[in-house]
Amino acid sequence: MGFFQVTGYGGSPDQAEHLLDVVRRFFDLPLEERMKLDNRLSPHFRGYTRMGTEVTQGRADAREQIDYSPERAPVHGYPTDQPYWLLQGPNLWPDESLPELRPAAMAWAELMSEVGMELLRAIAVSLQLPEDYFDEPFRDAPAWMGKLVHYVGGVVEEAGDQGVGSHADYGFVTLLLQDDIGGLEVLPPGTTEWLPVEPLRGALVVNLGEMLEVATEGYLAATIHRVQAPPPGVDRYSVPFFWSPRLDAEIGPVPLPPELKAQARGITDDPGNPLLSTFGLNMLKGRMRAHPDVTERHYPQLMHR
């Protein structure tokens, strides 16, 4: 199915609850304070996205959020065939209005990086590969991404009941911390019925991404999922973390044993969403689609590539 939940993954006592509390406090700040982190100011697709301005499947989502990734210096003078380096750079944080947010979010990212790597090693063993098979693409500079998300129903008219439209994630493993308000749904491969992913307090929802589908030629699927917006007046908070390799990592097929290769479905054939073997290109494709206003402002030359 591509989805499961884990508990007992470590971290300090109450770390998850503290993070969700700080996230709520950020979204309670006045809009003018949140807009100081406007992601249109960032050429690296970081910062605050206003309610209803992120797009999935061409339609607005009923959410606002902060996007963040490793704090690294921007890359200049990269080759024209490697535009994904524009994704690297600094984050935007509300250090004056809510100084607790940066350390809480970055500590969570550090914990999730450890969990993500451990899970990926377990997945390697399940594929009858050496435990460290996937280590190299993550060595030195993994390009993970975190989100701090607030969903509100009934606010974004054009979104309707779409919290996030149906999509697959473009990394290796996604680790999602969600509150107790439901709404996450999954569409298992080869089926037509959406299934709810019931919240378990403090648990991480684990979702496999497109890079694992590419690597296993479809034996492991990047499962389609979506979030239904909560009812009007109800707030939902979540913290997805996308454990992803270096931007320049090339992901090729892994040597599956014959009995597993025989079960491989093949890579999803969607002309509207081709799966790319270079992680950075796959990530840039997703960022540009989700934030066309950022792309148009900073990289109009990429709009029609």
Token readout for 27 is 């979204």
The domain segmentation of the chain, as residue ranges, is 3-302
- Which amino acid, one-letter code, is at 23? V
- Predicted confidence at residue 273, as pLDDT, reads 45
Give the span between the Cα atoms of 77 and 253, in whole angstroms.
31
Task: Give domain 3-302's CATH number out of 3.40.50.720, 2.60.120.10, 3.40.50.360, 2.60.120.330.
Answer: 2.60.120.330
Please report the sign of the dihedral spanned by the C-alpha atoms of residue 272, residue 276, residue 282, residue 284.
negative
Which letter does DSSP use for residue 38 in this model? B
pLDDT at residue 245 tops 80: yes
* Edge-to-edge strands, sheet with 63-68: 3-6, 204-208, 173-178, 235-243, 145-152, 63-68, 47-49
Closest Cα to residue 130, out of 138, 144, 120, 139? 120
Looking at 52-56, 128-132, 230-234, 294-298, which range is the least confident one? 52-56
| Model confidence pLDDT, tens digit, residues 174-223 | 999 999 998 999 998 889 999 999 999 889 999 998 888 888 988 998 88
pLDDT at 274: 46
